[in-house]
Structure formats: structure tokens, C-alpha cells
Structure 1
Amino acid sequence: MSQYQRLFLIAGPAMRHTPALERAVALAKATGAVLHIAVFIEDVDILGLMSGNKKFREICQQENQKWLQDEAQLIRGNGVTVTTEVVLARDVLKEILQHVKDLQPDLVIKDVHHESTLKRVFVTPLDWHLVRDCPVAVHLVSEVRCPLPRVVVAAVDLSHPEHQITDLNDRIILAAKRMASQCNAELHLLHAFDPSQTHISDAGAGAVTMPGFSADVRRALHKSFNTLADSCHVPSERQHFIEGSPAKVMSDFAAHSRADVFIMGDTHRKGLHKLLGSTTEHVLYKVPCNVLAIKGQVDQLG
């Protein structure tokens, strides 16, 4: 049985072809999944002016419905079962999450929407909210070199097992293997070793680093990585243990390789970690590639 039975594409109201649309159609065709496409139009009320402009909203909805109908006809011509709808909503995120609950899709697909750094200080973008709150895997697409991914990268984290769900790496690898198999793509395994995180906590001095400690940690993690890669039957030329912060490592790797999609785990945290955002969230704005976020559970760190 295919990994995907139902795909849910969140389309924008601009009525144009996008990388996410191309990826969703290609995945649906390759896996035989049913594709549901929804356009969410934000019902903005600026100084009360929009609330009375019923005709404007109706025209916007009608234009999107016509566009979706035309697109659906073309998609069905490729042998894909597709349904469409246009939704007018005051709270777009809430409406999307309700759709996910009702549709029970295997995968949510959406184009990456880039926000300025300054705006992200005050407003958490919709993409971040989806990664945090959506109960199913989210595939955020920035570009497609091929409709189907040709190089799938499972980005595992071995550095803080006590802070993570023990089976999260297994689920990342399983999702990557299934996507690679169904898309006839190469499977790569990647771990970013961040030396800045190799410290131990001392009650009197805070976080300190002992001489040689970083090198010992690196050797231990590299050994664990090799064991994991071998158990997954990933050939040595597709194993990548690279030093650096995760966002920089993945950004450089994407820029110098043929990587189509990074499959990562998203583990929620509380307190300062939640304010700063997860690695997955920050990678969205630094990696010239597509991200598929596998859900983790809430980390109880304060």
C-alpha cells in the first residue's frame, strides 16, 4: 500500500502555478493518492471597510473557484483524483487545522511564504504555525527542480537524545525511505554536528567545556551515525556527517548537492526554545530546498 492515500494542498489566492502545486500533483500521480486543493482567502476587515464589501469577496471567491475548476480538469487528465474548494476565513490557521482534522490527510503541502526578519520578531508566520500545530506531516515547498524528488535527505539528530522522542529519527528515516522508494529517488542520511553544543553543565560555573570533550563527543556521535546508516542500508557515499550548525550545514549541503527535500523532525519546546523557534522553522528561511517536517511530541524543557 502507498504511503500516501490523501494529500492536502494549501493554495494561495494568486491563481497561479506554484512549486507546491507541481509537487502535489506529481506525488498524487506517483502514489495514487486523492488530492484535495483548498484556497484560503483571508477575510480582512480594515477599519470596517471590507466587512461591507460583499461584492468584492464574492468576485474573489468566484475567480478562484473558476481557476480551481480549470486546474482540476487538467489534473484529472493526468489520472489524478482531485477535489477543490475556496474558503473565506477570518482565522486562516484555525480553518486549515479544522480541514486537517476533517480530511485526515497523510501529508499537507504548501508553498513556503518568506517573511522579513523584522516581521518574524513580532509575528509568527503561518508556515511556522503549521509546523508547530499541524498534527500531520507538513511538506513546505520553495522550489522544484523535478516534479518528483530525486534526492531525499533524512536529517537526523543524534546530539540530544534525552530531549527528544526516542523513535523520532526512526520515523524520519522511514518517511524518507518510503518517499525515496515511491519516487525512485536517492536516499541520503545527514547529521549536523554542532561543536557549540558540546558542553556539560556545572552547578557552580554554568555551561563549560572540558579539554578534549568536544572531540570525544564527535567520535561517539560519528560512531552512532555510522551504525544508524549501516542499519538503514545507506551506502557510504550517501552518508554525510558534517560539522556546523544544522541550518548552515543544510543550507550549504543543498547549495552544493542535488538535494530536493530534507525530511526533518519537529520537536516542540516550551519557554525560550519555543520563542526562538525550532531548527526546522529556522531552516525554512535558510535552506534553498524543500522541507518535510515529521511531527515530534512536546519537549518539557523550560
Structure 2
Amino acid sequence: MSTYNNILVVLDPTSEPQKALNRAVELVRLQGGKLTAFLSVYDFSYEMTTMLSGDERESMRQAVIKDRELWISEYLAAPRAGGINIDIKVVWHNRPFEAIVHAVLEDSYDLVIKGTHDHDVLKSMIFTPTDWHILRKCPCPVLLVKDHDWPKGGNIIAAVNAGSEQEHHLSLNQRVIAKAQQMAAMLSAKTHLVNAFPGTPVNIAIEIPEFNPQEYNSTMKHHHTDALTKLATQFDIAPEHSHVQEGMPEDVIPAIAKTLDAEMVIIGTIGRTGLSAAIIGNTAEHVIDRLDCDVLAVKPANFVCPLAKE
């Protein structure tokens, strides 16, 4: 039985090695499933053709789409020859992330695979690239592919927020660990739980003389350790594979992933909209930028896609 039965892989027209496609083919070889190679195209010179007839404009669109379909076919020749059945889907759209999300909504894909790379730190705090939009708005899990291989017997990290009592965090922890264990079983890998907890707030330590930072830190660590131990026990994960560390998630998770030489980090993403999303993104996005391995981003069970009604 496939973990993911209907996979959409997003190709990159600016890149020669199609690492998302290579990873998607590898995944299908491991677990089966249906694969669709996807590309959204848009020729901005099309905006200048308003003097043409509707038929002429449509012909121009179809010519661009056909050209891209042929381009994709060349990349698919090898995996198709190896017995992998891959469909092609090219759509005309000037906003790639919307095209991807609409495709997921229309054809019920259960996984999107896309290559990613390091974003400029300053720009990623101000602007929201395609990857970030997909992470916030795509209703199914998104696998962002980097350059790390998937050797057997490696390590898969489930990044959790074990210390939180909020229902959406508790539920998301369950989903993240379940997905991590599915991937670990497929890759004959070990599942690790990673939980970061905040250090002593400096302003409190300064403003309240009787505040004991050592005691505070000790209490926080015990709280998060106990919570993570319960999760590890529930999912039958070895105690030595549970990691609790003081610090921000965007520092702790990449550091542990590097130490373990992890193949993949599974992380929960809670979609945001509005100014807070545009300016700073969220923790998941900062973590992803600093990882050298693949990231599987999972949404909460009750997530409602903001594009679903459009």
C-alpha cells in the first residue's frame, strides 16, 4: 500500500538537474503510486497581444504549452523507460503557487514534491517566494527537496512542539510523528524526535531581581523532556532518539539534523495570512532555509485552503 498514491512533482525550468523529479521517481520506486510532472507557464509578451483575435491568442498559448510538454517529455524518457508511469500537466498561469494549489484541489494529489534552494535571508524576511506560499496554502503535505541523498539506514527527524498544551499543536505533533515513521519505514531509517524550548527571557531576568534563571531553565527543560518522553513512549521511539535542547527551533533543528546527518525533517506548518505572513514568515520557513536535507511540511488535520473557494 502506497503512503502517497497521487503525487504532483513540480519541475523547474531554470534548472538542469530536476532534483524534485529524481526524488519523486525514487519515492515511486520505493512505494508505488501515480506520478504527474507539473509546470505552470506564462509568457508575459502575451499581455501585448490584445490586438490579436481570440483564436490567435489561444493558438499562441497552446504553442507555448506544447513546447513545454515536449521539454518535459525529454526528462521523463529515462524513468518511463524504467517502468515509471508519469503523466504531464502544463497549465497557463502567471502565479505558479496558485497553479500548484489549484491543481491539488482539482485532482486530489496527496503529496507535492518541489525542489528548493537557499533564499536570500533579507529577502525571505520581507518577500514571500513561491515556496512560502505553497507551504502556507497547499492542503496536502509538501516535500521540499534539497541535495541530500536518501541512503538506507539513516535518520528521519520529527520536529515537534511537545511542551505546548494547545490543541492544534498536540494534534499536529501526532501527524508529524506518524508521517516521520511512515518515511522511516520506507527508507529503513530511524525516527528521531526533536524539541526546542525557549531560554530565559533576558528582560525578565533584568527587571525582576528575585527571578532565578537557572531554576526557570531547569523547570522548562523538565516540562519539555517529560512531554517528549510521553510522545516517544506513545510511538515506541527509543529514549536515545529523543532530543530536547534549549534555543530557537530555527537554530536547534538544523543543528541536530546536521549532527545526525538526517535525510529528512518532518515539520508542521500552520498557514498564516496578512502582514505577519508577508514580513516574517513563520518558524517552519526559517527552519527550512537552514536545513541541508529534504523537508516534509505537514498541515493540521482541520486546515482549510484559502484558495479552495476561489
RMSD of aligned alpha carbons: 3.2
The counterpart of 1:159, out of the listed 156, 159, 163, is 163
The CA deviation at 1:139 is 0.7
The counterpart of 1:84, out of the listed 60, 85, 88, is 88
* Match runs of 1:88-167 below 5 Å: 88-146=92-150, 150-162=154-166, 164-167=168-171
**How far, CA to CA, are the matches of 2:63 and 2:10 in structure 1?**
20
Match of 1:181 in 2: 185
Deviation sequence 1:170-227 (CA, Å, 0-9, x none): 1111111111112222211111222157999xxxx99x96652232121121111112
Gaps of 5+ in 1: none
Match of 1:224 in 2: 227
| SS of residue in 1 equivalent to 2:243 | strand
Which amino acid is the alignment partner of residue 124 of structure 1?
T
The CA deviation at 1:258 is 1.8
Sort the Cα spacing of 1:225 and 1:147 in 2 relative to 1 into closer, same or farther, 3 A: closer
Match of 2:262 in 1: 259
Give the number of the structure whose residues are more often strand, by fraction: 1
* Match runs of 1:1-302 below 5 Å: 1-14=1-14, 16-44=16-44, 61-146=65-150, 150-162=154-166, 164-196=168-200, 211=213, 212-269=215-272, 273-274=276-277, 275-296=279-300
Deviation sequence 1:41-83 (CA, Å, 0-9, x none): 243359x558889799777544432232133232123332210
8 Å CA contact 1:33, 1:81 repeated in 2: no
Give the number of the structure whose residues are more often helix, by fraction: 2
| More displaced stretch, 77-86 vs 167-176 | 77-86
8 Å CA contact 2:264, 2:294 repeated in 1: yes
| SS of residue in 2 equivalent to 1:241 | strand
Sort the Cα spacing of 1:177 and 1:13 in 2 relative to 1 into closer, same or farther, 3 A: same
TM-score (norm 1): 0.84
Which amino acid is the alignment partner of residue 85 of structure 1?
K
Sort the Cα spacing of 1:209 and 1:286 in 2 relative to 1 into closer, same or farther, 3 A: farther
Deviating above 6 A after TM superposition, structure 1's stretches of 4 or more consecutive aligned residues are: 50-59, 197-200
| SS of residue in 2 equivalent to 1:188 | strand
| More displaced stretch, 148-157 vs 287-296 | 148-157
Sort the Cα spacing of 1:124 and 1:256 in 2 relative to 1 into closer, same or farther, 3 A: same
Which amino acid is the alignment partner of residue 286 of structure 1?
R
Which amino acid is the alignment partner of residue 235 of structure 1?
A
Sort the Cα spacing of 1:167 and 1:243 in 2 relative to 1 into closer, same or farther, 3 A: same
8 Å CA contact 2:197, 2:248 repeated in 1: yes
Which amino acid is the alignment partner of residue 177 of structure 2?
I
Aligned residues: 292
Sort the Cα spacing of 1:15 and 1:192 in 2 relative to 1 into closer, same or farther, 3 A: closer
Gaps of 5+ in 2: 304-310
**How far, CA to CA, are the matches of 2:260 and 2:248 in structure 1?**
18
Which amino acid is the alignment partner of residue 266 of structure 2?
I
**How far, CA to CA, are the matches of 1:283 and 1:45 in structure 2?**
37
Deviation sequence 1:85-113 (CA, Å, 0-9, x none): 22231222221111011121111110114
**How far, CA to CA, are the matches of 1:102 and 1:37 in structure 2?**
15
Which amino acid is the alignment partner of residue 262 of structure 2?
A
* Percent identity of equivalent pairs: 28
Sort the Cα spacing of 1:168 and 1:177 in 2 relative to 1 into closer, same or farther, 3 A: same
